[in-house]
Amino acid sequence: MRYSLPTNEVSAQNQLSLIKIYVQKSGNGANPVRIEEIKALSPVKSDRISKCHRFLVDIGLLIKEGHKYRPTKEAVRIINYFADGENYSAQERLRSLVAETWFGSFIHELLHLVGSIDKDSLIQRMLVEAKLPDVDLNKEKAAVLIDWLLTADFIEKNSSERFILNETPLLPESVPVQMPTIPASTVLEQVADSKGMKINVNVELSFDELSPQMRSEIIQLIKSKLT
């Protein structure tokens, strides 16, 4: 098993932005793309872009073809979900992808054993697992791994600011991702005024079984529909 680490110079979100450009330039994965084509479009500094590729290949977002790279089918799917506003579907696919990596598998087992863990301890555990020296550079790279785990909603923080596992079951590949059904009670009240009829709608939702990420997305969706 290769215990690859990402560059410490580019955040997980910015690495995903590179994948987005690859998806666009490749025609949804139809053609491989030269790094130079990506550098011209990316907000990431050009001298840092090439440092991202080995890790992105290792976790299944890019395929190396000679001196070019092509986004994987899963990368295309994730980016297109984000582009279509289907953030929950994109997060689920990204979470499934991270679950297959060495660090996703390790963190899953670790948090099932210890329940929760602070950032410094998690970094130490990952370096021990990867058999890497406990030096500042490796610590910074491991911190970007945590950034990936959070970006993929694989882990989340509890009220004590400790990391816990997102316990939402991962769906099989063949099952389409859908937003969960939320228990709700709706009260409609009609109020007449001089300009016509108004309808006031009061909706009560139960968020008890949803992760903080899902709660935030649902609240934003409701707000967008009401404006």
pLDDT digit string, tens, across residues 49-88? 999 999 999 999 999 999 999 999 999 999 999 999 999 9
Q: pLDDT tens-digit profile of 197-208?
A: 544 545 555 544
Residues forming a β-bridge with 186: 203
User: Which pLDDT score, from 0 to 100, does residue 167 have?
Assistant: 86
Among 55, 50, 28, 52, smallest CA distance to 37 is for: 50
User: Which pLDDT score, from 0 to 100, does residue 210 have?
Assistant: 52
User: Which pLDDT score, from 0 to 100, does residue 203 have?
Assistant: 52
> In whole angstroms, what is the distance from residue 110 CA to residue 122 CA?
9
Q: pLDDT tens-digit profile of 134-178?
A: 999 999 999 999 999 999 999 999 999 999 999 887 655 544 444
Q: How confident is the model at residue 214 (pLDDT cuts 50, 70, 90)?
A: low
* Average pLDDT of the residues of the chain: 84
Buried b (16+ CB within 10 A) or exposed e, 91-110: bbbbbbbbeebbbbebbeeb
Structure tokens at 208: 């008890």
User: Which pLDDT score, from 0 to 100, does residue 171 have?
Assistant: 59
Contact indicator for 144, 119 with CB cutoff of 8 Å? no
DSSP H/E element including 185: strand 184-193
Please classify residue 148 by burial: count the beta carbons closer than 10 Å to its beta carbon, then call 0-12 exposed, 13-18 middle and 19+ buried. Answer: buried
User: Which pLDDT score, from 0 to 100, does residue 144 have?
Assistant: 97
C-beta neighbour count of 56 within 10 angstroms: 23
Is it the case that residue 195 has pLDDT exceeding 80? no
> In whole angstroms, what is the distance from residue 218 CA to residue 227 CA?
15
User: Which pLDDT score, from 0 to 100, does residue 226 have?
Assistant: 55
C-beta neighbour count of 88 within 10 angstroms: 19
Among 7, 70, 87, smallest CA distance to 33 is for: 70
